[in-house]
Amino acid sequence: MRRQIIKIDEKKCNGCGLCVPNCPEGALQVIDGKARLVSDLFCDGLGACIGECPEGAITVIQRDAEPYDESRVMENIIKAGPNIIKAHLKHLKDHDQNEYLAQAVEVLREKGISVPDEEAEHSCVSEGCPGLKAQEILPKPSQQETTQVEIKSELRQWPVQLHLLNPDAPYIENSDLLISADCAPFAFANFHQQFLKGKIVINLCPKLDKEIELYIEKLTQIFKTKNIRSIHIVRMEVPCCGGIGFIVNKALEKSGKSLDINQSIITIQGQINQGVFT
């Protein structure tokens, strides 16, 4: 079957092994000094390992591969102990892989092994997978007021998607750059005023977009040829969104530039956490 699965560029891989602990499914091993995908059956194609590779050697591609087998994955994970079981369940839950989560919990129950995440066990086995049920995020009382306030758009350029963006666009010069996850403007109500005002925006999704290497090259060209005053990343709290930071840092490294990156992490409930990393 044709599906998403990781690809490792052996020329870029330095064998550091940082990707291995972030693949609780056991699909990766360091063999002969290189990270290797040991079995298609163990790779779920979600790319949790991507953000841990300092060399950008791992990407997610579409190719013919054996179907991912959660039952066989669980056989390996159970041998590795409760901490790995817990990490694997969290990995599935964070990526909304609720069918696989239910299968994993069922395997544990069949073998008489306690489920580390009781909430996962209750929701997936007793009530059905939460991802299959509609979820309503109720507004706070202050958001229910009927007073209408006109809010103007702070968008200063078009296009905004990195795949469509021209790195030589003159409006990028001397700009404060906002690099946003696709979902962030929907989750955070005051996105325009809080983040977009006065900035040039670039949006992308490191999980669904298939142009990671192209994105790195585009940003590298921007950082090399344009004077960028500041960079602010706005991403969601889900793990796969961490790939944005990897893409930006890799592009900065290739460009030879050094800039602090301000980062805001948005929760699904629309709250915000601030952070800075370099």
Burial pattern 87-104, b for ≥16 Cβ within 10 A else e, equals bbbbbbbebebbebbbbb
Rounded mean pLDDT of 203-232?
88
Distance CA 225, CA 221 (A): 6
In terms of DSSP bridges, do strands 175-181 and 228-236 run parallel, antiparallel, or are they unpaired? Answer: parallel
Per-residue confidence band for 212, with pLDDT thresholds at 50, 70 and 90: confident
Long-range pairs for 149-155: beta carbons < 8 A, 24 or more residues apart: 151/192, 151/193, 152/192, 153/192, 154/192, 154/193, 154/196, 154/197, 154/198, 154/199, 155/192, 155/196, 155/201
Residue 93: predicted pLDDT:
79
Higher pLDDT, 122 or 229: 229
**Does residue 176 surpass a pLDDT of 90?**
yes
pLDDT, tens digit (0-9, with 9 covering 90-100), for 42-97:
888 888 788 778 899 999 898 888 888 888 888 878 877 787 788 788 878 777 77
Place of tokens 């930071």: 245
Among 51, 97, 22, residue whose Cα is nearest residue 241: 51
Q: Is the pLDDT of residue 206 over 60?
A: yes
Residue range 35-41: average pLDDT? 85
CATH 1.10.1740.10 fits domain 2-64: no
3-class DSSP state of 215: helix
Distances (CA, A) of 181 to 133, 136, 178, 192, 208: 24, 22, 10, 14, 11
**Would you place residue 133 in the very low, low, confident or very high pLDDT band (cuts 50, 70, 90)?**
very low
Candidate from 12-16, 245-249, 261-265 with smallest mean pLDDT: 245-249
pLDDT at 31 > cutoff 50: yes
Range 132-157 average pLDDT: 67
Split at pLDDT 50, 70, 90, the class of 145 is low
**% of the chain surpassing 70 pLDDT:** 86
Q: Highest-confidence range of 117-121, 254-258, 267-271, by mean pLDDT?
A: 254-258
Considering only residues 83 and 252, tell me which one the structure prediction assigns the higher pLDDT. 252
Q: For residue 125, is pLDDT > 80?
A: no
Q: Tell me: pLDDT of 236 over 50.
A: yes
Which residue has 């992490």 as its token pair? Answer: 265
The answer to whether 246 and 51 have CB atoms below 8 angstroms apart is yes
Residue 113 class from Cβ within 10 Å (0-12 exposed, 13-18 middle, 19+ buried)? middle
For 218, the token pair is 């585009």
Average pLDDT for 23-32: 82
Q: Name the segment(s) of the chain with CATH classification 3.30.70.20.
A: 2-64
